[in-house]
Chain A
Amino acid sequence: MNTTRAELRKLVTLPSLRLTALLTWTGTLLLTFAYASAESRGEPLGHDAALAPLGYTQAGFLVLGVLAAASEHQAGDQIRTTLLAMPRRLPLHAAKAVTLAAVTLPLAAVTAVTSTVPAGDTARTPAATAYLILTTLLAAAVASLVRRAVPAMVLLLSLYFIAGPLLRARSDTIAAYLPDTAALDPSRGTAATIIWTLSALTLAALTVHRRDA
């Protein structure tokens, strides 16, 4: 319990996370407005205005996860202090994942509502919220493997926003296996998102357990 509380305080007091949250929400608002005004002009952009803005602003959640995990490895190597206070690494890793999910929950919910409610599709809010939390956890797992924020961001953004769309355009079979298909088409990609996130978290846990800090 103490660990969770400590991790929570560390996350909540990171200024970069607050800024990311603010920018992510503002971006969603702006995009929702863009979709709504395109629709009212009679030239809708794509078929699903409820989820489409989230397809973009999930980038903010990737940033959130990466910053949360990479902050331990930035200048000063906070991870050493953390491990000194909390030497059992697997419980520590679990506590980190739980707190990150808890911190992300309100932001994910607010962002999802911002996007789904104006489009009149409230029923999808819980699924979208869950997706955004899973995406944040996946990003955090990747960042704790890579340990540096910029390379982790390059990897994740190019997978989510360049390789993903290209592969999805090529074949529906591949699309079902990509972690971000669920952002636009929850009926198909949900299992993939969950499996990707769980395997990334497991891999990160094993690595954190075995590797020198």
Chain B
Amino acid sequence: MVRLIRAELRKLLGLPTAWVGLVLGTLMAPVVVLLNAPYTRRAIAAGTLTDTPDLGLRDLGIGLIGPVILGVIVVSSEYTSTGEDAPGARQLTATLTAAPDRLRLLAAKTTALVLVVAAQAAITAAATLTLTKVLYAEHAPAPAPTRVVAAILYWVLTALLAYAIALITRNGIVPLTLLILNSTVVSVSYLLTKVTDLAAYLPDIAGAHMFIRSADFPVEIAPVTAGLVMTAWVVALLAVGAVLFHRRDA
């Protein structure tokens, strides 16, 4: 199993697009915090910014494109054609020859993805929060460690969500479009909460409750419940993905 995980890690980190996701995801949040610093300072001075305890953690969300790309690319890279000389061949054929037990393979893939995204999230969170502390020392108290862990968990679960959808659709475009659209300033899920309160239980909205306190949400969900709701979504989609991966022709 360890060898499988190591192999999957090497495969993932050997993909150029994965590095795009790693670099984008890691740099985005700190850079945005830095660029917005003058505006935020002014807003704090004017007293218009009331949710200062959420400062650093809220800006973390902008980097979510990183985990989404990583989660998608882990799957979609297996299904892209290897090259012009053998158009029908895909990497998955080679992968399954080396590791025929599909569920074990899937477990190894999932572990590799979780490890990479967790490391990325930890680094990004550390960088963003340190920056916030340096920039607005007296206004932004350091968030409780549990909230930072919850934010990292949110990143990992988002990556797994993208991964599960990609496993089901066997195509990178659907999860990429869905999840990047949803990480915009006003997300589609947020719009849906205006239609029905049930939309508050969509994975990304519920998940944000894990670490953001002051936000304009229609339904208040306790952090632990929020974590459970998002995990339930991810587990359900992953289960469907695993069954399909197990049963379907490669």
- A residues within 8 Å of B by Cβ? 30-31, 33-35, 37-38, 41, 43, 45-46, 56, 59-60, 62-63, 66-67, 74-77, 80, 148-151, 153-154, 157-158, 161-162, 165-166, 169-170
Contacts and interface: CB of A to CB of B under 8 A. Distances in A.
Given A149-B172, A161-B180, A77 B191 contact: no
Nearest to A53: B191
Q: Which 3 pairs between the two chains have the least Cβ-Cβ distance?
A: A75-B81, A38-B194, A76-B87
Chain A at the B interface: SS class: helix
Interface residues of B, number: 34
B200 interface: no
A26 B183 CA distance: 20
B17 A150 contact: yes
Contacts of B73: 150
Interface in B7-60: 17, 20-21, 24, 28, 32, 35
Contact of A63 (B24, B84, B177, B192): B177
Interface of B is mostly: helix
Nearest to B79: A75
B69 interface: yes
Contacts of A161: 180-181, 183-184
A59 B177 contact: yes
Nearest to B188: A56
Given A63-B177, A67-B173, A157-B181, A150 B76 contact: yes
B221 to A, nearest CB: 20
Given A67-B173, A75-B87, A165 B184 contact: yes
B106 interface: no
Contact of A158 (B65, B90, B194): B65
